[in-house]
């Protein structure tokens, strides 16, 4: 007992230590990297800081202290003397004035040669991140551009790679969707501003790694003109005429800090190796500096060997040769000379920060993109579930859990108190483990956590029922407890290890929610097994230390029925039910209309998305109420506002974790018709991309095949025409959704164009006043001005804040007046509104027409620039799009592969531990439970979403657990009752486990019923799916799996004797935990 007490204390101490390290220690929490920007102000300099996403951040004490430390110098760098002390200005800058004679370039290098580090804030000791449904998160809208800087549409591969990268960085449970205009929407749960900046960096990284030969380098002094071999074209560096040797050669620059102009240009040959040749990437040190270690795949190693041998030979012939350039995202990270050939491994050195190395590593592991993502906007979105809904669900869960504890205490009395303490310990350790692993908790995840802890009562019930049998057989209390725990151990071990193996496979092969579920499942089951067997035994010994016997309620006796004899009835019932249910799942749409997608919810099908800005703040209940009233008034006129098709409304807020009323909401509705059109469009888009790739390959040859390229281009036209037709059809459906929303909120949504409060034209200056949701600050206005000032047609841009209405005025001065022959390409509502404003300001009628296009250009540019800096213009409908499902095609395949491998793993383990016949019967029962659950939820109208997928995965664990408990007792009785018929043994074994089956299954079923009734509609599909799975799992373990053993030869079902547990050393002073005492017969498995 003393050893168990010490071990338990060590477990709790370790958990607390790890929690403290995870949530309180700075080395674990990490740092936010900040980049310093310098701007001259007379004889002084103003230093501002930007995060990884280039957003300006407030000055903190850490930055001021680090700045002083850098200026003070050290043993290797001389100090930079100042006139006075650094001063923090009201606009979040640090003003420093170097003494006369200080080199400006030295000051810049000292401030920008490496990032400043801001410590991430500590978290509560038992912190677990909350998901989008509980806390909301940050939304990013990304546009994609190809190498020619032309906007392209996202495909399934892009969505998959972005999600994989976010999972690599530990940002669990992100939402990644494709919008109908080709953009990508990404939402990360909860987090901090530092997390948002880190995510933005991940999104804007293409992850393209290339190894190229350095043909020549062209240097230029700082501030001088470009080398004659290089020119700047469309914002990118390219070769001057006559310099390029082949189409595969490129001009590249080295990585610069901040906005510095490059001074070294590389003339590079074709890409010899790329990120696709990399097997693994990691962080390492090289001569005391941060570096990236690369391990190539087998084919990559061959390419690397050939490439480095060639360069090594060049270096031997010419001392200036043998250079290679290693590029990441088009910039040279390192340009080493090959000193010796290499094959499998290499190290990339350079001016890396730890954050950049982690970004590079995750990008390489997640996959490289053939396009460049650009984040258009970054917004804080609220939780998808209302505060009341979350509180109601959590209250119901806690009440259910407490009810289970009370039942255990009343039914098993003194041992019930042991179970209560044991389950409480299980809950605490499981929560601690999830916090240590950095899990993200969603509402279904929370329900699963409560359910898994409640199901940990199964371990206690198994042990206590075995103790009851031993006491009934005349054993004294100490022996009964000893044999109860040792006898039940094999059943507990086998059932839990089977579930852990399946969870490990789901984590290893799956992605996204499937991977997260696998980790949670493994953690919960492992903690439950340790707590139930080890800590439970300790508590049982303590609570029965001076007692001779125990009393327990006995309301569920062994139920001796002809289970085997009823097998034909049960098999027939399962077969008929299964055929009907699965037939409805697969072909029900042929009867009721629609397509097979009717079985899936918006997570899988996608739908229409409309962002809407109301004239006043509304909360989620008010939004739902207005939508419901519109649907009830006329479900024909508002056919797209069917409450059954709408997702929960989601608000936009100014701060993370905000809840309640807000002016801007995003509404989503399932649209199967649009989903079918989107599927056709995506297929054609993929076909067009493949043909375009062939065109590029034909023209990239040493001798370009122009004839083949033109023939393929001719094939592209009909494909492009059909894609445009489908896009118009999808846009029509989303516009209809928007129109119905506008009508449902009549009087609460301003007319389109109303966000432009004023417009005027004076000389060559166009002024637009735009309304915003919050007043912009001076830094935000300056950032917007800097973006607009880069436009070639403008000579000057001024930004001034507007108080009434809240917003800002942009005054853009053109180099020359816009031409009068420009064609209008704006929506009619905006055109009409701008015409009225310009006319009202006194603009001549002849000028109004030619100003509309430039006005629309400045309007769009200002909105886009502001969205990236957190300034949101109050457009009535900022976005109207069709979006794809979160679950991309590759993600579905990985989920199915994970399920298949998990099934194989369970079959292998059960076959190894029991014999092959047991494994086949268990897998058949598992398939029975899953397929019937899937079919029945389809029949009752529950659609499959990510929460239902989580419930189906939970059913796997429950089904196998239930079946193995029965199999363990059958295996034991096969040895004890070798002379009796197999059918009789199966009947008696099932009868002996009925008390445990009824107590565990009954408690779980009652808990699910309570959750369905009281926890609210938000997680009702999840709970109903779990209820059906639990009922079917209990049924199949008794009436399907056990009788199926009759199909196998009895001799093939008898397993060898299990290895006897090692008895404790003499003098231990406590009974053996998992074996028999001296002189006693070794108990069999439970």
Q: What's the rounded mean pLDDT across residues 596-600?
A: 85
Under the banding of pLDDT at 50, 70 and 90, the label for residue 791 is: confident
Q: For residue 239, give the H/E element and its range.
A: strand 236-239
**289 has which bridge partners?**
286
The mean-pLDDT minimum among 370-379, 386-395, 1010-1019, 1068-1077 falls in 1068-1077
Question: What integer pLDDT is reported at residue 155 of this predicted model?
Answer: 76
917 pLDDT higher than 70: yes
In angstroms, rounded to a whole number, what is the distance separating the alpha carbons of residues 1058 and 1072?
Answer: 17
pLDDT tens readout for residues 120-156 = 888 888 888 887 777 778 888 888 887 667 778 787 7
Q: What is the distance between the alpha carbons of residues 46 and 30, in angstroms, rounded to a whole number? A: 27
For the chain, how many helices (H) and strands (E)?
31, 30
pLDDT on residue 256: 60
Q: What is the mean pLDDT of residues 1041-1058?
A: 71
Per-residue pLDDT at 826:
45
On the question of pLDDT at 157 being above 80, the answer is no
Please determine, for residue 766, whether its predicted confidence score (pLDDT) is greater than 50: yes
Q: What angle do CA 639, 641, 646 make, to 5 degrees?
A: 130
Q: Where are the domains of the chain?
A: 31-119, 129-202, 210-368, 387-580+887-1052, 607-744, 756-876
For 83-109, b/e burial (b = at least 16 CB within 10 A) is eeebebeeebbbebbbeeeeeeeebbe
608 sits in which H/E element: strand 607-618
501 vs 504: CA distance, rounded Å:
5
pLDDT at 800 over 90: yes
Q: 533-547, 663-677, 696-710, 879-893: which has the minimum mean pLDDT?
A: 879-893
Q: What is the pLDDT of residue 83?
A: 87
Binned at pLDDT 50, 70 and 90, residue 359 comes out as: low
β strands within 241-388, DSSP E: 250-254, 264-274, 278-286, 289-296, 324-328, 331-334, 345-349, 372-381
Q: What mean pLDDT comes out for the span 241-266?
A: 77
- Does 639 score more than 80 pLDDT? yes
Instruction: Compute the distance between CA of residue 616 and CA of residue 596 in angstroms, rounded to an integer.
Output: 41
Rg (CA), the chain: 34
Residue 579: the pLDDT is 92
Q: Are 511 and 444 in contact (CB under 8 A)?
A: no
Residue pLDDT, tens place only, 547-561: 888 888 888 888 888
Distances (CA, A) of 820 to 79, 260, 845, 852, 854: 60, 39, 12, 10, 11
Residue 872 has pLDDT above 80, yes or no: yes
pLDDT tens track for 814-865: 988 887 655 554 456 788 888 889 889 888 888 888 888 888 889 989 998 8
For residues 369 and 208, the answer to whether their CB atoms sit within 8 Å is yes
How far is Cα 481 from Cα 544, in angstroms, rounded to an integer? 9
Residue 565: closest CA among 156, 1038, 924:
1038
pLDDT score of 771:
93
Task: Measure the CA–CA gap between 557 and 465, rounded to whole angstroms.
Answer: 10
CA 715 to chain centroid: 39
Nearest-CA neighbor of 255 among 362, 146, 375, 356?
356
Dump pLDDT digits (tens) for 181-209.
778 888 888 666 777 777 777 777 777 78
Which range (320-324, 644-648, 930-934) has the least confidence?
320-324
**d(Cα 461, Cα 463) in Å, to the nearest integer?**
5
1086 has a pLDDT exceeding 60: no
Higher pLDDT, 824 or 908: 908
* Confidence at residue 932, expressed as pLDDT on a 0 to 100 scale: 92
pLDDT digits (tens, 9 = 90+) for 709-746: 888 888 888 998 998 899 889 889 999 999 999 999 99
Alpha helices in 344-413 (DSSP H): 354-366, 387-412
DSSP letters along 734-774, please? HHHHHHHHHHHTTTTSPPTTTTEEEEEEETTEEEEEEEBSS
Checking if the pLDDT of 103 tops 70, the result is yes
pTM: 0.74
CA distance 377 to 139: 8
Q: Which residues contact 500 (CB under 8 A, 6 or more apart)?
A: 521, 522, 525, 526
Q: Summarize the confidence of residues 781-787 as an average pLDDT.
A: 89
* Sign of CA pseudo-dihedral 436, 440, 445, 450: positive
CATH topology of domain 210-368: Gyrase A; domain 2 (3.30.1360)
The predicted structure's pLDDT at residue 814: 92
| pLDDT tens, residue by residue, 452-470 | 676 678 888 888 888 988 8
Share of the chain above pLDDT 90, in %: 12
Residue 1053 has a pLDDT of: 64
Nearest C-alpha neighbor of 555 from the set 678, 420, 413: 413
Given a cut of 90, whether residue 767 has pLDDT beyond it is: yes
- Phi, psi (5° rounding) for residue 348? -100, 120
Residues 274 and 208: their CA atoms lie apart, in Å, by: 7
**pLDDT surpasses 70 at 169:** no
Q: How far apart are CA 211 and CA 327, in angstroms?
A: 6
**Mean pLDDT value across the chain:** 82
Reply yes or no on whether the pLDDT at 45 is more than 60: yes
Model confidence at 965: pLDDT above 70: yes
221 Cβ neighbours under 8 A, 6+ residues apart = 263
pLDDT at 896 over 80: no
Quick one: pLDDT band at residue 798, thresholds 50, 70, 90?
very high
Write phi, then psi, for 745 (nearest 5 degrees).
Answer: -115, 40
Rounded percentage of the chain residues whose pLDDT exceeds 70:
88
Mean pLDDT for 973-983 is 85
Residue 474's region, left for phi above 0, alpha for psi from -120 to 50, else beta, is left
Is the separation of the CB atoms in 1031 and 961 below 8 Å?
no
Rounded Cα–Cα distance for residues 103 and 843 (Å): 52
Where on the phi/psi map is residue 170: left (φ > 0), alpha (ψ -120 to 50), or beta? left
């Amino acid at each position: 007992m003393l050893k168990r007490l010490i071990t338990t204390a060590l477990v709790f101490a370790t958990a607390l230590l790890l929690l403290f390290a995870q949530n309180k220690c700075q080395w674990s929490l990490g740092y936010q990297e900040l980049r310093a920007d310098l701007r001259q102000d007379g004889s002084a300099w103003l230093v501002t800081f930007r995060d990884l996403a280039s957003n300006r951040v407030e000055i903190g004490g850490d930055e001021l202290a680090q700045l002083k430390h850098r200026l003070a110098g050290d043993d290797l760098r001389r100090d930079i003397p100042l006139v006075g002390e650094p001063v923090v200005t009201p606009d979040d800058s640090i003003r420093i004035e170097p003494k006369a004679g200080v080199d400006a370039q030295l000051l810049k290098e000292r401030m920008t040669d490496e990032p400043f580090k801001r410590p991430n804030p500590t978290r509560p000791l038992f912190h677990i991140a909350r998901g989008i449904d509980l806390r909301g998160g940050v939304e990013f809208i990304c546009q994609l551009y190809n190498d020619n800087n032309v906007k392209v549409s996202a495909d399934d591969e892009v969505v998959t790679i972005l999600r994989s990268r976010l999972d690599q960085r530990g940002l669990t449970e992100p939402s990644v969707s494709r919008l109908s205009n080709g953009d990508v929407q990404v939402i990360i749960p909860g987090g901090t501003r530092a997390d948002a900046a880190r995510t933005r960096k991940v999104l804007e990284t293409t992850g393209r790694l290339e190894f190229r030969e350095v043909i020549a380098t062209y240097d230029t002094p700082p501030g001088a003109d470009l080398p004659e071999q290089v020119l700047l074209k469309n914002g990118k560096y390219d070769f001057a005429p006559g310099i390029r040797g082949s189409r595969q050669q490129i001009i590249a620059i080295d990585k610069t800090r901040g906005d510095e102009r490059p001074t070294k240009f590389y003339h590079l040959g074709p890409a010899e190796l790329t990120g696709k040749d990399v097997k693994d990437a990691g962080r390492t040190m090289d001569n005391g500096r941060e570096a990236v270690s690369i391990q190539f795949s087998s084919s990559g190693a061959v390419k690397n060997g050939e490439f480095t041998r060639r360069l090594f030979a060049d270096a031997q012939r010419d001392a200036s040769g043998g250079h290679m350039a290693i590029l990441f995202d088009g910039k040279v990270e390192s340009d080493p000379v090959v000193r010796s050939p290499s094959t499998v491994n290499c190290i990339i050195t350079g001016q890396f920060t730890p954050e950049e190395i982690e970004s590079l590593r995750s990008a390489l592991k997640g996959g490289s993109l053939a396009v460049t993502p650009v984040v258009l906007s970054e917004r804080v979105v609220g939780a998808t579930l209302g505060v009341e809904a979350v509180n109601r669900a959590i209250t119901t869960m806690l009440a259910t859990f407490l009810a289970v504890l009370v039942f255990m205490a009343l039914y098993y009395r003194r041992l019930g108190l042991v179970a209560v303490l044991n389950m409480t310990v299980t809950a605490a350790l499981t929560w601690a483990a999830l916090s240590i692993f950095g899990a993200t908790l969603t509402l279904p995840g929370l329900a699963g956590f409560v359910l898994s802890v409640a199901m940990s009562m199964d371990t206690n019930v198994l042990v206590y029922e075995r103790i009851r049998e031993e006491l009934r057989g005349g054993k004294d209390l100490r022996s009964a407890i000893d044999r109860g725990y040792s006898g039940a151990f094999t059943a507990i071990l086998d059932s839990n290890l089977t579930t852990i193996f399946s969870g490990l496979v789901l984590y290893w092969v799956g992605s996204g929610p499937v991977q997260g579920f696998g980790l949670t499942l493994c953690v919960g089951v492992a903690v439950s097994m340790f707590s139930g067997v080890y800590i439970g035994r300790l508590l049982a010994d303590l609570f029965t230390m001076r007692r001779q016997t125990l009393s327990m309620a006995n309301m569920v006796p062994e139920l001796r029925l002809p289970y085997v004899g009823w097998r034909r009835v049960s098999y027939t019932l399962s077969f008929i039910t299964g055929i009907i249910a699965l037939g409805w799942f697969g072909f029900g749409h042929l009867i009721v209309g629609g397509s097979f997608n009717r079985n899936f919810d918006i997570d899988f099908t996608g739908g229409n998305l409309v962002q809407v800005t109301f004239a006043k703040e509304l909360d989620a209940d008010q939004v739902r109420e207005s939508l419901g009233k519109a649907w009830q008034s006329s479900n024909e006129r508002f056919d797209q506002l069917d409450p059954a098709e709408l997702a929960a409304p989601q608000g936009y807020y100014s701060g993370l974790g905000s809840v309640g009323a807000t002016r801007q909401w995003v509404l989503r509705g399932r649209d199967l018709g649009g989903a079918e059109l989107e599927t056709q469009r995506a297929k054609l888009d993929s076909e067009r991309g493949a043909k375009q790739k062939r065109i590029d390959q034909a023209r990239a040859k040493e001798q370009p095949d122009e004839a083949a390229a033109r023939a393929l281009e001719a094939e592209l036209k009909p494909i492009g025409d059909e894609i445009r037709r489908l896009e118009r059809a999808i846009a029509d459906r989303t516009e209809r959704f928007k129109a119905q929303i506008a009508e449902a909120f009549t009087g609460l949504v301003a007319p389109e164009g109303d966000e432009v409060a004023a417009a005027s034209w004076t000389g060559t200056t166009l002024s637009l006043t735009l309304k915003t949701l919050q007043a912009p600050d001076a830094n935000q206005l300056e950032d917007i001005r800097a973006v607009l000032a880069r436009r070639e047609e403008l000579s000057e841009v001024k930004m001034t804040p507007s108080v009434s209405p809240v917003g800002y005025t942009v005054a853009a001065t053109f180099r020359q007046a816009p031409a009068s022959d420009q064609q209008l390409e704006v929506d009619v509502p905006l055109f009409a509104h701008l015409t009225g404003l310009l006319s009202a300001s006194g603009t001549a009628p002849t000028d109004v027409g030619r100003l509309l296009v430039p006005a629309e250009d400045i309007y769009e540019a200002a909105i886009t620039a502001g969205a990236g800096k957190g300034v949101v213009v109050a457009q009535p409908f900022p976005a109207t799009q069709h979006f794809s499902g979160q679950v991309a095609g590759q993600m579905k395949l990985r989920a199915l592969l994970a399920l298949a491998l998990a099934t194989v793993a369970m079959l292998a383990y059960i076959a190894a531990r029991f014999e092959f016949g047991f494994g086949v019967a268990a897998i058949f029962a598992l398939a029975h439970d899953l397929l019937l659950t899937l079919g029945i939820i389809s029949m009752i109208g529950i659609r499959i979403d990510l929460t239902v997928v989580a419930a189906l995965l939970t059913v796997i664990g429950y089904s196998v657990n239930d079946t193995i408990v029965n199999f363990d007792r059958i295996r034991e009785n096969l040895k004890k009752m070798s002379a009796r018929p197999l059918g009789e043994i199966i009947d008696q074994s099932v009868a002996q486990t009925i008390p445990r089956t009824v107590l565990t299954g009954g408690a779980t079923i009652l808990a699910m019923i309570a959750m369905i009734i009281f926890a609210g509609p938000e997680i009702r599909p999840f709970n109903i799916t779990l209820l059906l799975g639990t009922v079917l799992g209990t049924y199949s373990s008794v009436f399907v799996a056990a009788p199926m053993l009759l199909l196998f030869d009895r001799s093939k079902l008898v397993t060898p004797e299990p290895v006897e547990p090692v008895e404790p050393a003499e003098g231990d002073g406590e009974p053996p935990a998992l074996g028999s005492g001296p002189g006693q017969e070794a108990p069999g498995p439970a």
